Amino acid sequence: MAEKRDGRTSGWSWRRGRRVTVLCVLVAVLLVFPRVVPNSPGHLGSLLETFLPWLGLAVPVLLVPAVLRRSFLAATALLLPAVAWSALFGGLLSAGSRAPGEGAFTVVQHNVSDVNADPAATARALAGTDAGLIALEELTAPALPAFEEALAADYPHHATRGTVGLWSKYPLTSVRLVDIRPEGVGDGWDRGLRATARTPRGEVAVYVAHLPSVRIGPTTGLTSGRRDESAALLGEAIAEEPLDRVILLGDLNSTLDDRGLEPVTSRMSAPGPGFAFSWPAKLPVARIDQILTRSATVTEVRSLPATGSDHLPVAADIVLEAE
């Protein structure tokens, strides 16, 4: 129907809403092909990929002008980003079993924060998960005894290197430092370790890593050069790992969609369902704490209740492939 003389629309039309339609197509393209956004300047591509699931909020936002304009064209175009988001992230909404299935065991990853006011309480909360493996980052020298004491009874095996640590119900062997220092960072910056865990289903190489932080600024965009360099070093270490079965637990300081983590993610399997946003703890908007595997399957990943950290713990159920 035609527009009324006062400018108000009198019915739905295929001729109105072209600008909204263009925005719908743009959102769909960014969802499916985020790499059309270059990473220079300001790592804008990585910034988009870090928060890519939230681009789905454009669908209800664009629905408003489509309805106000009574545009069949815009309303139909909204299907493009809606379908794209569902295809990319809809599977993460499916909830798996909270109890590990047959042959599975639980692992936990947590950045405990170097300003945690009550590390002992955090340690007790982690012990209550009954996980087979617990990986920690930002372990400070003053806080370490509190974790050792609180976890000793349930986790008789543990290893630390620098500010990262691994607590295990299974014997640990071949523990060593993994050097993921970016260029220009001096000795003493130790944020990676590797150990062999002797689980009931055989040996598995376990890596714990804490990649450098990124910064987001209004003029600089996302600054992630050191994080990307550290990710490349971690990826090389995993590529050279002689054991087939690998578990990586760590604060990687970005989401798995971020192209900056490709040296790592290209060598590991994606986890199963669950958004498991972990940062910031008060209002989580992204999962930057990751649990990845090789020759193993993460059947579900989930965030756990807050501790004294600015990150939420993340837990996953893992099934190891047969040796």
| Alpha-carbon gap, residue 86 to 220, rounded angstroms | 32
Tens place of pLDDT for every residue, the chain, 323 residues?
445 544 455 689 998 999 999 999 999 999 999 999 998 777 788 888 888 999 999 999 999 999 999 999 999 999 999 999 999 888 777 655 445 556 789 999 999 999 999 999 999 999 999 999 999 999 999 999 999 999 999 999 999 999 999 999 999 999 999 999 999 898 899 999 999 999 999 999 999 999 999 877 665 556 788 999 999 999 999 999 999 999 999 999 999 999 999 999 999 998 888 899 999 999 999 999 999 999 999 999 999 999 999 999 999 999 998 87
Q: Which residue has the tokens 């806080």?
A: 143
| Alpha-carbon gap, residue 270 to 300, rounded angstroms | 11
Give the residue from 322, 323, 270, 280 showing the smallest Cα distance to 301.
270
Delimit the domains of the chain by residue range.
18-93, 104-320
DSSP state of 279: B
**Residue 17: both structure tokens together:** 């809403």
Task: Output the pTM of the full model.
Answer: 0.87
CA of 320: how far to CAs of 143, 198, 317, in Å?
33, 12, 10
The CATH code that applies to domain 104-320 is 3.60.10.10
CA of 236: how far to CAs of 56, 153, 263, in Å?
34, 35, 8
